[in-house]
Structure 1
Amino acid sequence: MPFITNKKSKETVDIFYEDYGTGQPVILIHGWPLSRKSWEHQVWKIVEAGYRCISYDRRGFGISSAPWDGYDYSSLASDLDTIINGLELEDAVIVGFSMGGGEVVRYLTDYGDAKIAKAALISSIIPLVKQTDDNPDGVPESALKDIQKALENDRVGFLKAFHNGFYNFDENKGKRISQAVLDYDFIVASHASPRATIEAALAWMHTDFRPELKNVKVPTLVVHGDADGTVPIETSGNLAAKGIAKATYEVIKGAPHGLNVTHKEELNDILIKFLKS
């Protein structure tokens, strides 16, 4: 199985990746608390459209190594840089879902865009999740602390219920996804490192990317669902599209956070069109 080793970080980290197809490379960065497997409905469409598609497990998730520390965004971006350099990629498109949007922006901040042609933020946490005086639509600090406490006290219990809201399952039961999808996500999420699950959550909860939006200079696709209850569009997609100079903004009506599954056809059409533009 293909692993690539990041020796730049404090602890040596082995990152598992899958690499299919030929052509311009498209790198998929998954959301929290899942793995590369969450891109199932996108990988084959990207390859089918004539691109090389690379997806990988974030450190601490899937079958990548799980160091004790190093879940801040600069450490995570160093893993992405290791993949880009290790596979000798040029003219790449980096696509981040939810938490993965942070790796996209931090990579461009820390490493620049010499090897990057385009970027995409899908249901992304960019630019800031937490509610502050100048981000009034964000998630209140008390709610974020409740998530942290739940993960520390009953991680699997929290994860068991988490994806209901991720997909707005109770509202769309039987219409968009099956119960089996929730069960599958729970299996994937529950097998992640407990330490990584908490530390990565703290990273997406508290990192403020607003000062870094100026570093996103490549053409960037922003896709968000207007029914996203996990990362509300008002404090994410709307602000990201406004703050990124070369943004193309697509709002999928009625789509929840996990629109890569519930609205996969719509997302795939938007993404492929952007890749070909």
Structure 2
Amino acid sequence: MPFFSTADGTRLAYEDYGTGSPIVFVAGWSLSADMWEYQLPRFVDEGYRCVLLDRRGHARSERPSTGYDLDTLSADIAALLEHLDLREVTLVAHSFGGVESAHYLGAYGTERVSRAVFLAACLPSMRRSEANPDGLPQEAIDATMASLRADRTRWLYNGGQAYFATQLGNTVMPAMIEDTIRQCMNTAPMAAIWLQQVNLNAAHEDDLAKLDIPVLVLHGAADASAPVHLTGRRTAAVIPNCVYREYPRAGHGLYVTHADAVNADILNFIRTGGTAKG
């Protein structure tokens, strides 16, 4: 597995498959490059170069004691793109990866990125504010963080079924739920806590409103982790050049339960230059 060094000297792991136009996959909170198992073969077979990052504190990357703020995390994405000299990139980002990617685009612009896909992203914001009056109140954020700190394993197991919206008939093998939890538990505990705190408090309405590239927003109507009325629908309303797809029976783990539809929508978006509305 190849590695590269970031500005603060942290060694991060990545995977690089295929040739052609590059797609950079940015994983969700506490997940690793392994989460993209249902996307990677399809996109490589379709002729794309697929680059997958293990963020700092996750999986095979180093676990520094600092750098879990959005400025550093977006700088890590920039360092990867520069290390491989990637251009005309399609960013595909899930959950907290969308928060990182939005911050990257706001800080570094779109010189290297030609389009973005926000998949169940926790954007534009989760917390209650003037811009998001229906968002999570501070007491709800505090309760979530207290529960995560008290017993991360229990917190993850309690949310396993809802993550894939199995109550709506989505068939997911128990082994898949176990593997998702295993990935999360392989993340440095302090990294998981710090990133969830960032995730629940970040706000990107301004950054998204300024995006000058095509964006595809894919979200599940049954998403318990990033409720669609707080995230996906608001993101689509904020971004000027946006294509929006909502899957009625999908949860946060739609990259598994709705992989065929997600992959097809992303491929269509890339092939049409990000302009397809139908």
TM-score bin (small chain): over 0.9
Tell me which amino acid in the other structure corresponds to 2:92: V
The match for 2:136 is 139
- 1:39 aligned to which of 10, 18, 36: 36
Tell me which amino acid in the other structure corresponds to 2:136: V
- 1:179 aligned to which of 171, 174, 181: 174
The answer to whether residue 259 in structure 2 is matched with residue 242 in structure 1 is: no
- 2:224 aligned to which of 226, 229, 250: 229
CA distance in 1, matches of 2:146, 2:248: 33
The match for 2:276 is none
The match for 1:2 is 2
CA distance in 1, matches of 2:107, 2:130: 27
The match for 1:164 is 161
CA distance in 2, matches of 1:195, 1:108: 26
The match for 1:213 is 208
1:107-166 alpha-carbon deviations (Å, 9 max, x no partner): 111111111111110001110011234412222322221221122221222122232221
Tell me which amino acid in the other structure corresponds to 1:154: D
The answer to whether residue 62 in structure 2 is matched with residue 65 in structure 1 is: yes
Work out whether residues 228 and 255 of structure 1, in 8 Å CA contact, stay in contact via their aligned partners in 2: yes
CA distance in 2, matches of 1:46, 1:20: 10
The match for 2:53 is 56
Q: 1:85 offset after TM fit, Å?
A: 0.2
Q: 1:69 offset after TM fit, Å?
A: 1.8
The answer to whether residue 251 in structure 2 is matched with residue 256 in structure 1 is: yes
* Misfit runs of 4+, over 6 Å: none
1:62-102 alpha-carbon deviations (Å, 9 max, x no partner): 11111112111111111110110000111111111010111
Within 5 Å, which residues of 2 pair with 1:87-102?
Answer: 87-102=84-99
CA distance in 2, matches of 1:145, 1:66: 25
The match for 2:105 is 108
CA distance in 2, matches of 1:132, 1:86: 38
Q: Unpaired runs of 5+ in structure 1? A: none
The match for 2:184 is 189
CA distance in 2, matches of 1:135, 1:110: 23
Structure 1, 25-34 or 128-137: larger mean CA deviation:
128-137
CA distance in 2, matches of 1:76, 1:275: 25
Tell me which amino acid in the other structure corresponds to 1:104: S
- In structure 2, relative to structure 1, the CA distance for the partners of 1:224 and 1:209 (3 Å cut) is same
Structure 1, 138-147 or 82-91: larger mean CA deviation:
138-147
- 2:78 aligned to which of 78, 81, 88: 81
Percent identical residues: 31
1:235 alignment partner, SS class? coil
Q: 1:169 offset after TM fit, Å?
A: 2.8
CA distance in 1, matches of 2:121, 2:68: 18
1:176-229 alpha-carbon deviations (Å, 9 max, x no partner): 211111111111111110010000101111011112113321111011111112
CA distance in 2, matches of 1:170, 1:72: 35
**How high is the TM-score relative to the length of structure 2?**
0.94
Tell me which amino acid in the other structure corresponds to 1:44: P
1:35-65 alpha-carbon deviations (Å, 9 max, x no partner): 1111110111111111100011111111111
CA distance in 1, matches of 2:104, 2:60: 22
CA distance in 1, matches of 2:185, 2:199: 19
CA distance in 2, matches of 1:190, 1:169: 22
Q: CA RMSD in A?
A: 1.3
Work out whether residues 93 and 117 of structure 2, in 8 Å CA contact, stay in contact via their aligned partners in 1: yes
CA distance in 1, matches of 2:97, 2:54: 11
CA distance in 1, matches of 2:138, 2:257: 29
1:11-40 alpha-carbon deviations (Å, 9 max, x no partner): x21111110000010000010121111111
Tell me which amino acid in the other structure corresponds to 1:250: R
Work out whether residues 168 and 249 of structure 2, in 8 Å CA contact, stay in contact via their aligned partners in 1: no
CA distance in 2, matches of 1:227, 1:171: 9
